[in-house]
Structure 1
């Protein structure tokens, strides 16, 4: 297909059965997105994971629970207990219903009220930690609380999305869908949080597309790629810990994106393509658009959009919230800052680095 004439093209492999809730997950569409600055002929393909019932993490939630049951690590009817900022929680709520397990989730005050209400409507018990860990932030505080709950409930199962290889393996199907939908690819752009979907999709696709490059997108204030830990407004990407599922050697470069830049990209997507989402979607779209402008003509780029816009109605798409946090002040610069090493300077706006390190090895 000629990318330059695909402005209205949308493809979707339809599911063949609606008999099970699990059948609703996967076979998500791809959409051609012209680059955001000019809306010109160049652009990228977006994989719209918001078409899953709860978003991209429906895939690993179902797979991790299925595999735990097959191995006997999760017995019938026993509780599932996990830490989440939102999207995996929705996936685990689905998995709990599909496999008939009670679910308890530990979150923090940053979880959107809409998500909390939905989780409770799905029968999930939600616990909220009240203070961040002094070194590991909210994520570590949540994980400590999960550990306490597991000790109180023998037989309960924690999927541990940060280190569970089943999290990575779950994305093989997504990679297969992209290969069927788009054929040859040159660049894959993924946000990075637990490291699951970047490792899982690239691990399969690079065998099918020799020379494929993986570009990581992180949040400013995230420690994943060696930057200092800071309080973060953006949720769904970034981390204050070092998830073991991140495949550092797979990345050719990493970009850090600021909240205002992600908001601008989300709103540009909404106006131009009626396909938008949350913080991860905006950050990924910003980077994929820049690659579309700067890579040689004919470069085929795919970007993973992890979710849709609905849970962000009170943040990204709320003018009062954005004004309060200074997120509507300016259009992003057309080029990122460049640093030669993640430890050389701290990113405060969109920044790019082609030296990708594993901070755990440095430690």
Structure 2
């Protein structure tokens, strides 16, 4: 383990790195998903220094410091698959907090090197939890690291309401850039940005529809937990920041479908990203093709392509995992009940329920 000492905090100033967080651009996307004038607007959160979770890392840390929960120079410990880790590393550099990140062998090698370069200490769990998978194993390791570091604080991104509150400014940016939005498309992992952006937009756009994008093998919307290749969306636990009542429908996308989509974006639009971006673009493109002409669709692209050079954009990796074999169908399968069957390819459901609430009410009925 590296030295826990840390440099003095950097005083933010208007032209420092904090000035690069937020106010990200929009890109109009039609081909290869739709034919003009149909298409959708992509919010390019990869233009933040580390990605969309720079916003939530800064907000959660600021609020914790204001409340006195995080003391000056105290360590920050969190579980991450990568993007929040970059945001926390940024905050650690700016405010002088040692940052300890718990991850698993699925983290891309380039991400490990980037986080280490930014001064973060990595703790890698070696075995998944029998029921909660890698995420539960990581959470348990977080508890161990917290116990070892006096005064350490954990943001607890899965359940911290500040994760949701962080995205009010992003909602304001979208409202200013687009004026009105009919459909918002977001990947769902911790549930923070989908809940926060939708909540902010609905203050002036009460009829907004929110479409969630999950991965096959994720438990968030009632599917059984399975091993997952995709990082940054999906979960093997039930994050309480997911606002189930906010969603009009949910889509599940398979890894090969996300790879196809991310690579087509790179070929035709230049702007692209990894698993979440590929999955979100696939769903947003279908909505652009099938909704009435003139429907204004905004899709959030959480990051850029750089951390995915060893996975999504690596032919050897993709061949080894059978990710280059097929073009996605033109439309998803549709289910009336998210638990009616296990999905293995692009599918959608327009009845969105909280699996934990359903389990509680079912148990009470018995």
Q: Tell me the secondary structure at the aligned position of residue 202 of structure 2.
A: helix
TM-score (norm 2): 0.93
1:205 correspondence with 2:205: no
1:348 correspondence with 2:339: no
Paired with 1:361 and 1:210, the residues of 2 have a C-alpha distance of 25
Structure 2 residue corresponding to 1:55, chosen from 48, 51, 72:
51
Paired with 2:122 and 2:262, the residues of 1 have a C-alpha distance of 29
- Contact 2:34–2:288 under 8 Å retained in 1: no
Paired with 2:42 and 2:358, the residues of 1 have a C-alpha distance of 34
1:44 correspondence with 2:43: no
**Once the 2 structures are TM-superposed, how far is the Cα of residue 21 of structure 1 from its aligned partner?**
2.0
Cα-to-partner distance string for 1:65-122 (whole Å, 9 max, x where unaligned): 0110000000000000000000000000001111110000000000111111111111
1:180 correspondence with 2:210: no
Partner in structure 1 of residue 297 of structure 2? 301
- Aligned ranges for residues 247-326 of structure 1 at < 5 Å? 247-326=243-322
Structure 1 residue corresponding to 2:125, chosen from 115, 125, 129:
129
Partner in structure 2 of residue 224 of structure 1? 220
RMSD: 0.9
Structure 1 residue corresponding to 2:88, chosen from 64, 84, 92:
92
Paired with 2:62 and 2:102, the residues of 1 have a C-alpha distance of 21
Partner in structure 1 of residue 8 of structure 2? none
Q: Tell me the secondary structure at the aligned position of residue 186 of structure 2.
A: strand
Paired with 1:194 and 1:318, the residues of 2 have a C-alpha distance of 27
- Contact 1:220–1:348 under 8 Å retained in 2: yes
1:147 correspondence with 2:143: yes
Partner in structure 2 of residue 246 of structure 1? 242
Paired with 2:14 and 2:324, the residues of 1 have a C-alpha distance of 42
- Contact 1:30–1:46 under 8 Å retained in 2: yes
169-178 or 314-323, which deviates more: 314-323
Structure 2 residues without counterparts, runs of 5 or longer:
1-12, 360-366
TM-score (norm 1): 0.94
Aligned length: 347
1:156 correspondence with 2:149: no
Structure 1 residues without counterparts, runs of 5 or longer:
1-16
Cα-to-partner distance string for 1:226-281 (whole Å, 9 max, x where unaligned): 00000001000000000000000000000000001001110111111110001000
Q: Tell me the secondary structure at the aligned position of residue 55 of structure 2.
A: helix
- Contact 2:33–2:282 under 8 Å retained in 1: no
Structure 2 residue corresponding to 1:31, chosen from 22, 27, 44:
27
Q: Tell me the secondary structure at the aligned position of residue 255 of structure 1.
A: strand
Paired with 1:94 and 1:234, the residues of 2 have a C-alpha distance of 24
Structure 1 residue corresponding to 2:358, chosen from 341, 355, 362:
362
Paired with 1:44 and 1:324, the residues of 2 have a C-alpha distance of 33
- Contact 2:34–2:289 under 8 Å retained in 1: no
Partner in structure 2 of residue 66 of structure 1? 62
- Contact 1:83–1:106 under 8 Å retained in 2: yes
Paired with 1:58 and 1:355, the residues of 2 have a C-alpha distance of 32
